[in-house]
Amino acid sequence: MNASPGVLAKKCIETPLGTLWAYVSDSGVRAILFAESDLPRNGVHGDVVERPRHRTLCAVSQQITQYFSGTRVDFDLPLDPVGTEFQRAAWMALRQIPFGETVSYGDQALAIGRPLATRAIGAANGRNPLTIVVPCHRVIGKAGGLTGFSAGLDRKRWLLAHEGALHKKR
């Protein structure tokens, strides 16, 4: 899941929550971000070219569209996010949260063997460059409240409602 040098390809994906841009390297999906996202903060650096017919970008677009239509609950994409070892561990733990379920930041910290790293987990989730595919929207506060989501709490609420997870906790 480390970064690879070179040109990134990108593709626009329209969703019920707004425009997403997908970025891929030679190694996999680098980022899936809402249009207003800070690209450098999310691992999108260097040359970027629009390639709407790129094989991996087409797979991203198809799977995201299926997710929003309710026909996909898991993603099968090669991933290549840029992050520290801790961030990548936190993001891998997010991928273990099933569709329609939520966990707390403390639960996620326990899942990576760092039970005291709750705040660091929140910071890592805030830098998750793979919106929806790496489901940081499924992490909620210890008391069950919606907290923090780089794309906004309204989008987080929508995604959880879409998954039927608004009032469920694993």
CA distance 49 to 7: 7
CA distance 30 to 15: 19
Q: What angle do CA 150, 151, 157 make, to 5 degrees?
A: 110
Residue 12 known to be catalytic: no
Which residue in the list 32, 57, 93, 136 is annotated as catalytic?
136
The DSSP bridge partners found for residue 169 are: none
CA distance 73 to 24: 21
Rounded to 5 degrees, what are φ and ψ at 58?
-65, -40
The catalytic site residues sit at 136
